[in-house]
């Protein structure tokens, strides 16, 4: 099923159809990458498995997956690697976030994920939105790990931590944490991704193939 959504500046297509030619499992391109798809679990800011996550898979456009492979190869040369928290995100998952954000008394994960932000301001501050670049299939949330121990490097905040502390430019973290953030950004940029000013873990392929398509098919 396909439907068109008219925005203020452009026409976007939301489609429920996916195929192997459009999105691929990252492990088919990067066999040694680590994944922890938190929206498939209860360990996320909502506190429950998110709609559309029927399997703990990282799906990406083939172009994005191949770019991730370049980043992984560069890191492996130095005994490091990538760990992925989220990739393709179905539109139904975004809709789940929106519904949750409107239930102001559900704050069971606030202390861990958004301690300094009133839930009533999550929309205003841009932490929750009606559409996500993740739904276009070329955006991922990722961190660095030690290839031997598989332990995450210290980035100064956890993934999906709603705070200025998570901004890549935040100066309140220590020098090692800043260096880790800079290394991740440098490697991902060199592989063809661009980052986000508010999230050190968020990267989108610059030449994403589906820049105006928001997929809605669940992850299976």
Handedness of CA 132, 133, 138, 142 (dihedral sign): negative
Closest listed residue to residue 26, CA positions, set 37, 39, 10: 37
Rg (CA), the chain: 17
Closest listed residue to residue 202, CA positions, set 149, 132, 147: 132
Catalytic residue among 36, 62, 66, 199: 199
User: Is 202 marked as binding a ligand?
Assistant: yes
Tens-place pLDDT, residues 12-44 = 555 555 554 589 999 999 989 999 999 999 999
Question: Does residue 160 come out as left (phi exceeding 0), alpha (psi in the -120 to 50 range) or beta?
Answer: left
36 belongs to the catalytic site: no
Q: What are phi and psi of 175, to 5 degrees?
A: -65, -35
Query: What's residue 15's pLDDT?
Result: 56
Tens-place pLDDT, residues 55-86 = 999 999 999 999 999 999 999 999 999 999 99
User: Is 146 marked as binding a ligand?
Assistant: no
Query: What's residue 22's pLDDT?
Result: 81
Residue pair 83/34 in contact (Cβ under 8 Å)? The answer is yes
> Of residues 43 and 7, which shows the higher confidence score?
43
User: Is 134 marked as binding a ligand?
Assistant: yes
For the cut 70, the answer to whether the pLDDT of residue 147 exceeds it is yes
| Neighbouring-strand partners of residue 84 | 35, 142
| Domains along the chain with CATH numbers | 2-215 (3.30.1380.10)
Tens-place pLDDT, residues 178-206 = 999 999 999 999 999 999 999 999 999 99
pTM of the predicted model as reported, rounded to 2 decimal places: 0.91
C-alpha distances in Å from residue 70, one per residue of 132, 136, 150, 153, 188? 25, 21, 19, 20, 9
Q: How many other C-beta atoms can be found within 10 angstroms of the C-beta atom of residue 33?
A: 20
Cα atoms found within 13 Å of the Cα of residue 158, Cβ hemisphere only: 13
């Amino acid at each position: 099923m396909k439907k068109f959504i008219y925005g203020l500046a452009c026409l976007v297509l939301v489609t429920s159809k996916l195929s192997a030619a459009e999105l691929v499992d990252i492990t088919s391109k990067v066999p040694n990458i680590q994944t922890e798809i938190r929206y498939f679990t209860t360990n996320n800011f909502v506190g429950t498995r998110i709609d559309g996550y029927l399997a703990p898979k990282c799906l990406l456009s083939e172009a994005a997956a191949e770019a991730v492979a370049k980043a992984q190869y560069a890191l492996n040369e130095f005994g490091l690697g990538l760990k992925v928290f989220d990739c393709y995100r179905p539109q139904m998952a975004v809709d789940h976030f929106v519904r949750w954000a409107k239930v102001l008394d559900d704050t069971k994960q606030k202390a861990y994920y958004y301690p300094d932000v009133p839930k009533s301001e999550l929309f205003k501050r841009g932490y929750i939105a009606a559409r996500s670049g993740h739904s276009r299939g070329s955006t991922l949330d990722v961190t660095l790990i030690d290839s031997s121990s598989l332990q995450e490097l210290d980035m100064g905040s956890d993934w999906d931590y709603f705070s200025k502390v998570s901004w890549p430019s935040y100066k309140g973290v220590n020098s090692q944490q800043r260096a880790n953030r800079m290394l991740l950004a440098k490697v991902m940029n060199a592989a063809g991704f661009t980052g986000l000013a508010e999230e050190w873990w968020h990267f989108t392929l610059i030449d994403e193939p589906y820049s105006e398509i928001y997929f809605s098919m669940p992850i299976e």
